[in-house]
Amino acid sequence: MSDRVYIFDTTLRDGEQSPGNTMNTQEKLRVARQLEALGVDIIEAGFPIASEGDFDAVRQIAGAIKNSEVAGLARANNEDIDRAWGAIKGAAKPRIHTFISTSDIHLKYQLKKNRDEVLKIAVSSVKRAKKYTPNVEFSAMDATRSDRDYLCRVFAEVINAGAVTLNVPDTVGYAVPEEFGALIRYIMENVPNISKARISVHCHNDLGLAVANSLSAIMNGARQVECTINGIGERAGNASLEEIAMTLRTRKDIFPADTGINTEKIYPSSRLITSITGVPVQPNKAIVGANAFAHESGIHQDGLLKAKLTYEIMTPESVGIAKSSLILGKHSGRHAFRERIEALGYELNDNELNLAFKRFKALSDMKKNVYDEDIEMIIMDEVHKIPERYKLVYLNVSCGNTTVPTATVKLEIDGSVLQDVGVGDGPVDATYKIIKRLVKTTSKLVKFSVNSITRDMDAQGEVFVKLEEKGLIVIGKGADTDIIVASARAYINALNRLEYMKSKTVEVK
């Protein structure tokens, strides 16, 4: 039995298709390149049949990624499989991932087919995919609620048809670890040709057991785990890549296998997903949460000062978190700034570095300490930004417990400068009403959240907003030491993203 666990990352497919995590093509490319740097074995780039945009994103990722396999998802039918191949055929290492349900619940209520019919479809689809590439993965959707003997029969037949990876999904997060491990063991013992394929698992977190179930599967013979950065995904999410990788690395005394993940890239990968989706990581999230390596208890602090091993089973450096997050100030030079950016996992050309450094200098004049999170926000704002139709020129707000909140906003729109003033229920509400009036947008604000991305009284506030217009949903983000300014920037960033998405939609049509 191999001592290597292959990491199949589905952040760009299962993760991206969940509410609030939508990404455009350029954002998907950035994530794919980060996943490659992270050492992910297989990147599931998307579901090509879903839309023209998804097809194009998968196609571009396939052309850009050289070291990781690139997989396209396809239902068990010819149209999906042909479309998936059309998107991934330019990849250095393409994979077609096809699936169909095997549980009696799904067969009766969703597919309205019997077991023999589904088996015939599964075999036919694998054979179709095999004509394009020898690298075919087959998933038995809702495997954990399927009849075990029927599941083994399907697996044996699709292996004969050419599947080299068999995925066992806990599609609705129903299983518990002992039960799931036993299922994997049963498959290992009852599929006669199992030696010709690798067993994979895809666990959902509806009961909070996705990682535990995945680890139990590894203990019982699974050698591929399907997971996502930060555990994002449908409903309660997927198994968390960072938790799987660090458990196998930390508990080598228990687990007979390890991954090829470059764990020092874990934290930068987590931050990238948060910055793109606008979905923050909970502070107590394992491995990458803000409190994952924080110690407040006096007893814990005393132990750490004497020996870190007393209360830290892994080091922050091992997952890419700097030993000290306070690293730069207004007297720091360009060389030190470049080194810190590279340490955070970013690669900037000279022009991008100049843009970021100029913003860094401006920020360091405004606040006492500049943290890693500040620098990451600068990179997001200055380097990885979309075309700006709308720009904030001026903002002044008057508010207080005896004053009607009033905002004066000046925007540059398509090169022309417009200004207006108005009131609202609060300073942010007043600001947003003026921006909406100036831009003449019909979009709806469906989410607004504020986080402090650094510490101290002069910390930068990070604001995320979600806008919706005629089915298009975008995330906007902004940061500033003034939370009202950060809110305005987030709203304007979202409006610019909305214009960008609308232009892309028109291009696709």
Out of 385, 420, 437, a domain closes at 385
The tokens of 60 are what? 């571009």
Residue 301 pLDDT > 50, yes or no? no
For residue 14, give the amino acid letter.
Answer: D
User: Are 316 and 342 members of one domain?
Assistant: no
The tokens of 327 are what? 């690293």
- Please give the pLDDT value at position 311: 47
Residue 304 pLDDT > 70, yes or no? no
CB of 254 within 8 A of CB of 241?
A: no
- Residue 97 DSSP label: E
User: Are 183 and 215 members of one domain?
Assistant: yes
Residue 305 pLDDT > 60, yes or no? no
Closest listed residue to residue 292, CA positions, set 242, 238, 239: 242
Q: Which residue range forms the structural domain that includes residue 232? A: 6-277
User: Are 345 and 431 members of one domain?
Assistant: no
Q: Once rounded to an integer, what is the mean pLDDT over residues 168-192?
A: 98
Residue 438 pLDDT > 90, yes or no? yes
User: Are 153 and 241 members of one domain?
Assistant: yes
Out of 354, 385, 416, a domain closes at 385
In a domain, 1, yes or no: no
475 vs 277: CA distance, rounded Å: 7
- Please give the pLDDT value at position 332: 73
User: Are 342 and 429 members of one domain?
Assistant: no
Q: How confident is the model at residue 79 (pLDDT cuts 50, 70, 90)?
A: very high
User: Are 344 and 423 members of one domain?
Assistant: no
Give the residue with greater pLDDT, 453 vs 108. 108
324-to-321, 371, 372 alpha-carbon distances in Å: 8, 9, 9
The tokens of 273 are what? 């997903």
Give the residue with greater pLDDT, 303 vs 448. 448
CB of 98 within 8 A of CB of 76?
A: yes
306 vs 308: CA distance, rounded Å: 7
Q: Once rounded to an integer, what is the mean pLDDT over residues 246-266?
A: 94
317 vs 119: CA distance, rounded Å: 48
The tokens of 191 are what? 């599929």
- Please give the pLDDT value at position 296: 41
- Please give the pLDDT value at position 320: 85
Q: Once rounded to an integer, what is the mean pLDDT over residues 335-351?
A: 80
Half-sphere exposure of 376 (CA within 13 A, CB side): 22
In a domain, 40, yes or no: yes
In a domain, 284, yes or no: no
Residue 481 pLDDT > 90, yes or no? no
Provide the CA 421 distance to its chain's centre, in angstroms.
Answer: 39
CATH number, domain of 496, equals 3.30.160.270
User: Are 56 and 145 members of one domain?
Assistant: yes
Q: Is 362 exposed, middle or buried (0-12, 13-18, 19+ CB in 10 A)?
A: exposed
Residue 327 pLDDT > 50, yes or no? no
In a domain, 283, yes or no: no
CATH number, domain of 33, equals 3.20.20.70
User: Are 189 and 227 members of one domain?
Assistant: yes
User: Are 46 and 158 members of one domain?
Assistant: yes
In a domain, 45, yes or no: yes
- Please give the pLDDT value at position 431: 97
Out of 10-19, 160-169, 366-375, which region has the weakest mean confidence (pLDDT)? Answer: 366-375
Q: Tell me how many domains the chain contains.
A: 4
pTM: 0.75
Give the residue with greater pLDDT, 431 vs 464. 431
Residue 399 pLDDT > 50, yes or no? yes
Q: How confident is the model at residue 509 (pLDDT cuts 50, 70, 90)?
A: very low
In a domain, 282, yes or no: no
User: Are 142 and 98 members of one domain?
Assistant: yes
Q: Token pair 């199992």 is at which residue?
A: 194
In a domain, 286, yes or no: no
Q: How confident is the model at residue 308 (pLDDT cuts 50, 70, 90)?
A: low
Q: How confident is the model at residue 67 (pLDDT cuts 50, 70, 90)?
A: very high
Mean pLDDT of the chain: 89
User: Are 159 and 66 members of one domain?
Assistant: yes
User: Are 345 and 255 members of one domain?
Assistant: no
Q: Once rounded to an integer, what is the mean pLDDT over residues 211-233?
A: 97
240 vs 15: CA distance, rounded Å: 11
Torsion angle, alpha carbons of 437, 439, 444, 448, to 10? -90
